[in-house]
């Protein structure tokens, strides 16, 4: 039985991770440490988790941790865990600066613990199938990629730059960059773009971004990474990727797993079904702990995605 502690749960994805672990026979959650009293009480109540008074008490209770804290705290929590020889699944982005990310990778290697980054979309069935298709060569040479990752403005610490590292660009760029790097076995060689406050004037971080990226395989890519998803959107996420090759085009709508219905009373709508992104992510973490292998979404993958974000911030048009 793998015992997993939750080290910070400011990020709402942490709630889903706990629920996925509760479905598994070979893992259990030992409890939670969270600095913010409000966050701690809410998560403890909703998820029925034991609250620990200090990070060290939590670490003493477990074999591994999931870090779902504010972005700026990822490094310190990863360091605490690695020094206690606890495996780490860290929410994205890996960190808010390169030095922190590199330190996280280094200290986990030195202490022989798993460092996995929470890029759950890479575990989506549609994305896995797209990888098989692209690797088969059926699309020919890849020419261009057009992509989106839209969300709603999350508020709270996500719009506090000291805690988050930025706004919509850091929040949503990393997911799509990670997917494209993996799908095409390529790196991002050049970054340009634009970001600003276009929807929520009261914020002190950007709510919209449009990035233009050059890939090492010679293709180019656009990415709309904005907090612009409407409330009426039929499913939770909005990650789309269109890949154009010399022999064909492939389109991914990673979250479009729904059943639409139409009724005579005009109460039309949709029902979503579970596509197990987060379950597969957690399953990978547990299997890596057991086998000692490197996770599909590693610390190095987190660093590569963060580098793109920071280049975008540095070269604002």
DSSP track, 131-157 = HHHHHTTTT-SEEEEEEEEE-----GG
End-to-end CA distance of the chain: 51
Q: What is the pTM of this model?
A: 0.93
Angle between the N-to-C axes of helices 13-21 and 37-47, in degrees from 0 to 180, rounded to the nearest 10: 30
Which pLDDT value is given to residue 65? 98
For the chain, percent of residues with pLDDT exceeding 70: 93
Residue 153 binned pLDDT confidence (cut-offs 50, 70, 90): very high
Distance CA 21, CA 19 (A): 5
Q: Find out whether the peptide bond into 93 is cis, omega within 30 degrees of 0.
A: yes
What's the pLDDT score for residue 272? 59
């Amino acid at each position: 039985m793998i015992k997993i502690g939750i080290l910070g749960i400011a990020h709402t994805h942490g709630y889903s991770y706990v629920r996925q672990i509760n479905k598994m026979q070979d893992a259990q959650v030992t409890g939670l440490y969270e600095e913010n009293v409000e966050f701690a009480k809410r998560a403890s109540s909703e998820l029925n988790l034991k609250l620990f008074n200090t990070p060290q008490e939590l670490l003493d209770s477990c074999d591994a941790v999931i870090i779902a804290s504010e972005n700026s705290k990822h490094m310190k929590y990863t360091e605490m865990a690695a020094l206690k020889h606890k495996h780490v699944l860290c929410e994205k982005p890996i960190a808010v600066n390169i030095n922190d990310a590199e330190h996280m990778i280094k200290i986990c290697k030195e202490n022989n613990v798993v460092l996995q980054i929470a890029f759950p979309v890479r575990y989506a069935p549609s994305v896995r199938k797209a990888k098989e298709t692209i690797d088969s060569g059926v699309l020919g040479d890849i020419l261009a990629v057009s992509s989106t990752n839209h969300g709603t403005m999350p508020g709270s610490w996500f719009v506090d730059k000291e805690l988050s590292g930025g706004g919509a660009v850091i929040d949503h760029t990393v997911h799509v960059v990670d997917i494209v790097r993996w799908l095409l076995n390529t790196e991002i060689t050049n970054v340009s773009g634009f970001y600003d406050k276009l929807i929520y004037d009261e914020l002190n971080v950007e709510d919209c971004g449009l990035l233009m990226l050059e890939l090492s395989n010679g293709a180019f890519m656009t990415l709309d990474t904005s907090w612009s998803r409407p409330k009426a959107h039929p499913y939770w996420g909005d990650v789309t990727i269109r890949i154009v090759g010399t022999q064909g085009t492939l389109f991914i709508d990673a979250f479009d797993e729904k059943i639409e219905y139409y009724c005579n009373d005009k109460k039309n709508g949709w029902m979503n079904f579970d596509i197990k992104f987060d379950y597969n992510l957690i399953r990978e973490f547990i299997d890596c702990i057991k086998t000692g292998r490197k996770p599909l979404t590693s610390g190095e993958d987190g660093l590569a995605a963060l580098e793109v974000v920071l280049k975008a911030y540095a070269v604002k048009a």
